[in-house]
Structure 1
Amino acid sequence: MDGLNWTDVRDLARRVAHGEPFAFTESTRSILRRTAPQVGIALSDAERALQSEPTAEELLAEVSRRISNGSRRLSRTLAEVERCRDTGDVDGARQLLNDVLVVEVVPHYQDILRANLAALDDGGAARS
């Protein structure tokens, strides 16, 4: 995904999680407006959430949750896929990728899963 940069939203979420007050600024709104669609949240839903501080803070938590959970899920899955491939279980590897693709909502992570499925079909190595 072009322009994918979650450092700012991760930093903001980390600061809020450690007790720093949520800063409902134009910069914060801009970060959330940019990152929400990148994690599978419709821009219209993000815009509604950005109408008030409490819902904007909830949006930040959801964006952060999707990034973190998706990243962990993807890492675990790719490690399992490699184990399956190492033992020659290509069908098992394919099933793992398909199972995670069903629940993954972050487009970037979906793209990685699809690339790994394509690599399996082409006989190539899994990629992250």
Structure 2
Amino acid sequence: MPTQREWDAVKDLSRRITDPVQPFLTPETRALIEATAHDVGIPQGETARALQDDESAASLVREIASRITNGSRRLSRTLVEVDRRRDAGDTDGARQLLQDALAVEVVPHYMNILNTYLRAVDGDS
């Protein structure tokens, strides 16, 4: 399971990357990038290729941060609306929202949360 500290660290790293990219790959940043890339569903081979140089690593860091931020926002909005619809008795609408979110989500942690909600909605039916 991903740690909030690692995700916060990679988002901070993404904000600190300059354009043009200054060297930033250290053993510590490599380890952080490898761990968080895996957490957000980026294949190991793609991560290894990106870590060959600072420029491609910077792009990977930005993608990781984007997946964390966008996925979190999408998840939050979805769950609020799911609860609203479920409370209103619209379990079909709540289920469809969850299925729609699952269709585009790539972050395994967020997918697990959505699946948990989906099981709960299906259990309420």
Query: Considering the TM-score relative to the shorter chain, is it more than 0.5?
Result: yes
Question: How many angstroms does 1:121 deviate by?
Answer: 1.4
Partner of 1:83: 84
In structure 2, distance between residues paired with 1:123 and 1:93: 11
**Counterparts in 2 of 1:11 and 1:81: CA distance versus 1, 3 Å:** same
Aligned CA RMSD, in angstroms, stands at 2.2
Higher relative contact order (CA 8 A, sep 6+): 2
In structure 2, distance between residues paired with 1:53 and 1:20: 7
Q: Percent identity, aligned pairs only?
A: 50
Partner of 1:54: 55
Partner of 1:30: 31
- The residue type equivalent to 2:91 in the other structure is V
Residue 99 (structure 2) pairs with residue 103 (structure 1):
no
In structure 2, distance between residues paired with 1:42 and 1:120: 31
**Counterparts in 2 of 1:68 and 1:24: CA distance versus 1, 3 Å:** same
Partner of 1:115: 116
Q: In 1, are the aligned partners of 2:2 and 2:39 still within 8 Å (CA)? A: no
What secondary structure is seen at the aligned counterpart in 1 of 2:17? helix
Partner of 1:72: 73
Q: In 1, are the aligned partners of 2:21 and 2:55 still within 8 Å (CA)? A: no
In structure 2, distance between residues paired with 1:67 and 1:56: 17
CA deviations on 1:63-97 (whole Å, 9 max, x unpaired) are 00000000000001001101101210000000000
Q: Which runs of 5+ in 2 are unaligned?
A: none
**Counterparts in 2 of 1:103 and 1:86: CA distance versus 1, 3 Å:** same
Residue 8 (structure 2) pairs with residue 13 (structure 1):
no
After TM superposition, which residue ranges in structure 1, 4 or more long, deviate above 4 angstroms? 19-22
The aligned length equals 124
- The residue type equivalent to 1:95 in the other structure is Q
